[in-house]
Amino acid sequence: MKMLIFGLGYSGQYIAKSFAGDVVGTTRSADKRNALKSKGFKVELFDGTMTDAVALQLKDTTHLVISASPSEAGDPVLPALGELKKTCPNLQWVGYLSTVGVYGNFDGAWISEKTPPDPVSKRGQWRVAAENAWAAACRNAKVDFAIFRLAGIYGPGRSTFDKLRKGKSRRIIKPGQVFNRIHVVDIAQIVNAAARQQATGVFNGADHEPAPPQTVIEYAAKLANMPLPPEEPFETAEMTPMARSFYGDNKRCGNARLSKDLGITLKFPTYREGLEAILTQMSG
């Protein structure tokens, strides 16, 4: 098995590290490429235009993971690949990293992998368009295709503790608001299990306990014995339009297919186990 990951960012690096086979990733800048190479990753440059080096890697790629965000112009990878079976003659499976933001707002109600997307933001709409474009390309190429709709990603170096330490954590209170989260180690576990099994369809990469954002901050602050940021009402809090848009999506994400179809048990089923493990690692 050989995996090529378009967009070797935070999640992509964890997926690469735990894949049982050859892995190559891409990044857009030479500086990032050098930094990733120094960590032991195989990396090629890719900025949306096909290069000889990437084309060569694709010749014997069996598993493709797309971890690159779309824009108004569409998906940044698919146009460069052209006809999948010609560019990737050995391709068996494609996994697309999306977001639970595509579901839109459910006022705190539960949704499942069967819930149709109804995005409220432009970014959500771009995601759905990219999901559909990849689904069509894989259908045409007769390649198995899975979509991973991920909740709020956290993990070492990217957690509530880091924000608390930098003084950037904000306890914004919007009554009734909940979010799911997913630890980056669990993302890697989910994607690699699906790749091995060539699983298809939609998987919600979400933990088992959606929770209000302030509850998570309070738990982290107590755990690390750090001061709590003051409460700020959502209505009057100064926020960027992007930050505010996240609060427009209020839902509880079901993840039944992870155990039922992939046979996975989450290593960090709630934010509590995730934060405790991160703090232990930080203190070690």
Task: Residue 109: give its domain's CATH number.
Answer: 3.40.50.720
Domain assignment present for 100: yes
CA diameter of the chain: 57
Question: Which uninterrupted H or E stretch holds 38?
Answer: helix 30-38
Question: Which residue reads 């070797």 in tokens?
Answer: 8
Q: Which residue has the tokens 């000889």?
A: 52
CB-CB contact of 228 with 221 (8 Å): yes
What are the Cα distances from residue 205, in Å, to 88, 96, 112, 181?
A: 27, 12, 11, 8
**Digit-coded pLDDT (tens) for 176-213:** 999 999 999 999 999 999 999 999 999 999 999 999 99
State the pLDDT confidence band at 245, using cuts at 50, 70 and 90.
confident
Dihedral, 142, 78, 74, 50 alpha carbons, nearest 10:
-170
Q: What confidence score (pLDDT) does residue 160 get?
A: 96
Note whether 258 and 194 are within 8 A (CB).
no
Minimal CA–CA distance to 33: which of 19, 54, 15? 54
Q: What was the pLDDT predicted at 284?
A: 75
Model pTM score = 0.97
Q: What is the number of domains present in the chain? A: 1
Q: How confident is the model at residue 243 (pLDDT cuts 50, 70, 90)?
A: confident
70 domain-assigned? yes
| DSSP state, residue 127 | H
Residue 147 lies in a domain: yes
pLDDT at 226 over 80: yes
Residue 237 lies inside a defined structural domain of this protein: no
Query: Residue 121 sits in which domain range?
Result: 2-211+242-283
Amino acid at 255: N
- Any domain includes 223: no
**Cα 184–Cα 186–Cα 187 angle in degrees, nearest 5:** 65
Q: How crowded is residue 172: how many other Cβ atoms within 10 Å of its Cβ?
A: 21
In-domain check, residue 222: no
- In this predicted structure, what is the pLDDT of residue 179? 97
In-domain check, residue 189 = yes
Q: Which two structure tokens, joined as six digits, stand for 134?
A: 């990849």
Q: Quick check: is 169 in a domain?
A: yes
Write out pLDDT tens, residues 6-24. Answer: 999 999 999 999 998 999 9
- What are 100-104's contacts with CB under 8 Å, separation 24+? 100/149, 100/150, 100/151, 100/180, 100/204, 100/206, 100/249, 100/251, 100/253, 101/127, 101/246, 101/249, 102/127, 102/128, 102/131, 102/149, 103/149, 103/249, 103/251, 103/253, 104/249, 104/251
Task: Supply 110's token pair.
Answer: 């539960």
Model confidence at 3, in pLDDT bands (50, 70, 90)?
very high
